[in-house]
């Protein structure tokens, strides 16, 4: 039944264990139906990616199905742009939902009928308390609440009022439908929770049809039930809602149908990252990032634009596993996952991010030659390309030092260095401007060292990358750093706004010179700029104006810092 038989080494996580037990016991006709239930009130983020990999992964591994259900019960904050972006992101991750996308709003009539059924059974009532009165009557975790004065009104009266709430006869905040459970329950969620409230906003799908909207706790479990979901997987904060989930199900459950079971797991928290959609929306609305898909955002669209691949997100989800307790995952793990993937797949190219011109004085003027370069040493099938070499080239400013320490193996006056795929050069002279800044280097090359091979066994320790000045192409490169300076920006000290912990240097735009092969690129292509890191072609890049985004460095520089 499960793929675990094919790969016996992988141990089951606790959710897989539950599912395998259920399958063994023939529960729910031995079926596995799960769902991913986003609220379309923002773009999906890396936490959602984890939930998507988990749910769709379970459906795949247990020959089940996974529904995509938009949990659209709050007309105020939801819209079609979000619906479309969510579908796009799930498809990009490589998953297919069962049948067509589903919407809780499609069940509004059915949910309404369930509510009527519960009122008729004497287990729900229309309450006329204001939100404030309801809160005052609620009690505290250590103190029982008080019954609403409307709790025992006749069923017929509640039915009548509920119908008129639907018709729009009452103003927002005046009446509500409440479950009649137990105002003294130690679980606050069981103290006559709201089932429906009046809301006059237009809904993105049902328009002005409804004047009442179901509350999450009521709508969610019933939607699971309507869809025949067997395992309803959600994050830990819903653990305390589980008795209510069960209570609502008990009201309508027909034993001939499948009965969903709620299972909670720990949500993903990533260091240096905020993930609440409300906070992400704030970053977008206040213009602190360029949009939901800003490459610094932890959204799936931001990660995609940054250069993350679906595979790297799958790997990351596998690496972090499924936990029962909240924890904080090091952002370095995500960076590790993308580095692993790109190392195997990204074409190597040469790009000089901070150019310094070098004139090779003994190289014939006007001559240019093509040299062979390997596209990807990790992938033979990626083949070779040619790079043009000439008398004037650019190297990184950092690859030259006038007063170099002993163990400096890059370029310095009098010393020799290997130009990747080209020749050995020796620096002969430094040219400065009137401010004393280095503006150019002069060098000689050894014509016998073509391809960077030593002609006589003499050793050259340093190899640096370069780009031909004549053939190189200008490109704009976006260098990113963490968007937040604090490890846990979601949980800053009281009185501190999370926005105050933003890293004002999280984006640096520089003008680079890149090898001409990079003109042949499409949006989203991945490259390793040799020695500089992994980059991808930005959404706004064109052959007239190349733009590359730095995905991640070649090494975990942060880990190195903490080791020192």
Nearest distance in Å: CB 235, ligand ATP: 4
**Residue 460's closest CA among 491, 426, 503?**
426
Q: Which of 50, 197, 203, 410 binds ligand ATP (CB under 6 A)?
A: 50
Nearest distance in Å: CB 507, ligand ATP: 23
Contact call for residues 204 and 148 (beta carbons, < 8 A): no
Q: Which of 47, 221, 298, 302 binds ligand ATP (CB under 6 A)?
A: 47
Contact call for residues 469 and 392 (beta carbons, < 8 A): yes
Phi, psi of 126 (to 5 degrees): -85, 125
Stretch that binds ligand ATP, among 33-41, 118-126, 506-514, 551-559 (CB under 6 A): 33-41
Q: Residue 524, Cα to own-chain centre: how many angstroms?
A: 16
- The string of DSSP letters for 248-260 reads HHHHH--TTS---
Q: Which of 28, 43, 48, 95 binds ligand ATP (CB under 6 A)?
A: 48
- Please identify which of the residues 60, 267, 279, 442 carries the catalytic annotation: 267
- Kindly tell me which of 155 and 499 has the beta carbon lying closer to ligand ATP: 499
Nearest distance in Å: CB 35, ligand ATP: 8
How many residues in the shown chain lie near ligand ATP by CB under 6 A? 15
Q: Which of 20, 39, 61, 392 binds ligand ATP (CB under 6 A)?
A: 39
Binding flag, residue 426, ligand ATP (CB under 6 A) = no
Stretch that binds ligand ATP, among 48-56, 59-67, 283-291, 434-442 (CB under 6 A): 48-56
Question: Which residue in this structure is represented by tokens 């190219």?
Answer: 349
- Kindly tell me which of 77 and 450 has the beta carbon lying closer to ligand ATP: 77
Element holding 196 (H helix, E strand): strand 194-198
**Residue 137's closest CA among 96, 83, 178?**
178
Q: What gap in Å lies between CA 536 and CA 518, rounded to an integer?
A: 11
- Kindly tell me which of 48 and 482 has the beta carbon lying closer to ligand ATP: 48
DSSP 203: B
Q: What gap in Å lies between CA 455 and CA 458, rounded to an integer?
A: 7
Whether 267 sits among the annotated catalytic residues: the reply is yes
Q: Which of 79, 235, 345, 490 binds ligand ATP (CB under 6 A)?
A: 235
* Opening angle at CA 452, ends 450 and 454, nearest 5: 90
- Kindly tell me which of 95 and 535 has the beta carbon lying closer to ligand ATP: 95
Nearest distance in Å: CB 191, ligand ATP: 23
Q: Which of 28, 33, 34, 51 binds ligand ATP (CB under 6 A)?
A: 51
Whether 39 sits among the annotated catalytic residues: the reply is yes
Whether 277 sits among the annotated catalytic residues: the reply is yes
Nearest distance in Å: CB 114, ligand ATP: 21
**Residue 415's closest CA among 462, 469, 467, 364?**
462
Nearest distance in Å: CB 36, ligand ATP: 6
Q: Positive or negative CA dihedral for 370, 371, 376, 380?
A: positive
Nearest distance in Å: CB 69, ligand ATP: 10
For residue 131, with 0-12 CB atoms within 10 Å meaning exposed, 13-18 middle and 19 or more buried, which class applies?
A: exposed
Query: CA dist 535 to 333, 389, 556, Å?
Result: 18, 23, 15
Query: CA dist 310 to 96, 148, 233, 289, 298, Å?
Result: 14, 52, 22, 23, 14
Stretch that binds ligand ATP, among 47-55, 134-142, 160-168, 206-214 (CB under 6 A): 47-55
- Please identify which of the residues 50, 69, 178, 277 carries the catalytic annotation: 277
Q: Which of 37, 221, 307, 489 binds ligand ATP (CB under 6 A)?
A: 37
Element holding 558 (H helix, E strand): helix 557-563
Nearest distance in Å: CB 430, ligand ATP: 53
**Residue 534's closest CA among 313, 307, 336?**
307
Residue window 64-83: x/- pattern of binding to ligand ATP, with contact defined by CB under 6 A: -------x------------
Nearest distance in Å: CB 271, ligand ATP: 13
- The string of DSSP letters for 119-159 reads HHTTSEEEE---HHHHHHHS-BTTB-----TTTTS-HHHHH
What's the N-to-C CA distance of the chain in angstroms? 50
DSSP 382: G
Closest-approach residue to ligand ATP (CB): 47
- Kindly tell me which of 82 and 527 has the beta carbon lying closer to ligand ATP: 82
Q: Which of 16, 28, 38, 349 binds ligand ATP (CB under 6 A)?
A: 38
Q: Which of 32, 134, 190, 234 binds ligand ATP (CB under 6 A)?
A: 234
Query: CA dist 180 to 192, 213, 289, Å?
Result: 5, 18, 46
- Please identify which of the residues 39, 246, 340, 378 carries the catalytic annotation: 39
Residue window 246-285: x/- pattern of binding to ligand ATP, with contact defined by CB under 6 A: ---------------------xx------xxx--------
- Kindly tell me which of 234 and 443 has the beta carbon lying closer to ligand ATP: 234
Contact call for residues 400 and 355 (beta carbons, < 8 A): no
- Residue-wise burial string across 238-263, b where 16 or more C-beta atoms lie within 10 A, e elsewhere: beebbebbebbbebbeeeeebbbbbb
Nearest distance in Å: CB 34, ligand ATP: 10
Positions in the binding site for ligand ATP (CB under 6 A): 37-39, 47-48, 50-51, 71, 234-235, 267-268, 275-277
Tell me the catalytic residues.
Answer: 39, 267, 277
């Amino acid at each position: 039944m499960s793929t675990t038989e094919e790969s016996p080494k992988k141990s089951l996580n606790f959710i897989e264990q539950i599912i395998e037990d259920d399958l063994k016991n023939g529960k729910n006709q031995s079926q596995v139906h799960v769902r991913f239930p986003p609220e379309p009130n923002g773009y999906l983020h890396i936490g959602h990616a984890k939930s998507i990999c988990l749910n769709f992964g379970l459906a795949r591994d247990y020959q089940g199905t996974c529904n995509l259900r938009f949990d659209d019960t709050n007309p105020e904050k939801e819209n079609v742009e979000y619906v479309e972006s969510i579908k796009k992101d799930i498809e990009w991750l490589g998953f297919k939902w069962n049948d067509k996308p589903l919407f809780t709003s499609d069940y509004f009539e059915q949910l309404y009928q369930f509510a009527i059924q519960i009122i008729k059974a004497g287990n729900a009532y229309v309450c006329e308390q204001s939100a404030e009165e309801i809160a005052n009557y609620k009690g505290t975790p250590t103190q029982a609440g008080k019954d609403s004065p409307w709790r025992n009104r006749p069923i017929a009266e509640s039915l009548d009022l509920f119908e008129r709430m639907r018709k729009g006869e009452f103003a927002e905040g005046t009446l509500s439908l409440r479950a009649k459970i137990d105002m003294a329950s130690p679980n606050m969620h069981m103290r006559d929770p709201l089932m429906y409230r009046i809301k006059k906003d237009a809904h993105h799908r049902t328009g002005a049809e409804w004047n009442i909207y179901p509350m999450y706790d009521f709508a969610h479990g019933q939607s699971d039930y309507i869809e025949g979901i067997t395992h309803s997987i959600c994050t830990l904060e819903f653990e305390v809602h589980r008795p209510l989930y069960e209570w609502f199900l008990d009201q309508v459950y027909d034993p001939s149908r499948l009965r969903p079971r709620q299972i909670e797991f720990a949500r993903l928290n990533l260091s240096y990252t905020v993930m609440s959609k409300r906070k992400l929306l704030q970053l977008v609305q206040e213009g602190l990032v360029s949009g939901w898909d800003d490459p610094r955002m932890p959204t799936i669209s931001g990660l995609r634009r940054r250069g993350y691949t679906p595979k790297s997100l799958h790997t990351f989800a596998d690496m972090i596993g499924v936990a029962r307790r909240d924890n904080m995952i090091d952002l370095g793990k995500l960076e590790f996952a993308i580095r692993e993937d790109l190392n195997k797949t990204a074409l190597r190219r040469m790009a000089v991010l901070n150019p310094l011109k070098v004139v090779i004085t003994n190289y014939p003027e006007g001559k240019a030659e093509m040299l062979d370069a390997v596209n990807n040493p990790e992938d033979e099938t990626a083949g070779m390309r040619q790079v043009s070499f000439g008398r004037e080239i650019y190297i990184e400013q950092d690859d030259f030092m006038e007063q170099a320490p002993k163990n400096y193996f890059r370029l310095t006056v009098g010393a020799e260095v290997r130009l990747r795929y080209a020749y050995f050069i020796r620096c002969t002279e430094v040219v400065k401007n009137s401010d004393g800044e280095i503006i150019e280097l002069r060098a000689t090359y050894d014509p016998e060292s073509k391809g960077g091979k030593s002609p006589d066994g003499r050793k050259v320790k340093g190899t640096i990358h370069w780009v031909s000045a004549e053939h190189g192409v200008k490109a704009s490169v976006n260098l990113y750093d963490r968007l937040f300076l604090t490890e846990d920006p979601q949980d800053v000290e009281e009185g501190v706004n999370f926005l105050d912990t933003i890293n004002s240097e999280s984006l640096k735009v520089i003008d680079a010179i890149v090898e001409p092969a990079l003109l042949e690129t499409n949006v989203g292509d991945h490259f390793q700029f040799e020695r500089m890191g992994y980059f991808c072609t930005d959404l706004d890049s064109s052959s007239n104006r190349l733009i590359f985004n730095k995905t991640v460095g070649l090494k975990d520089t942060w880990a190195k810092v903490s080791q020192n």
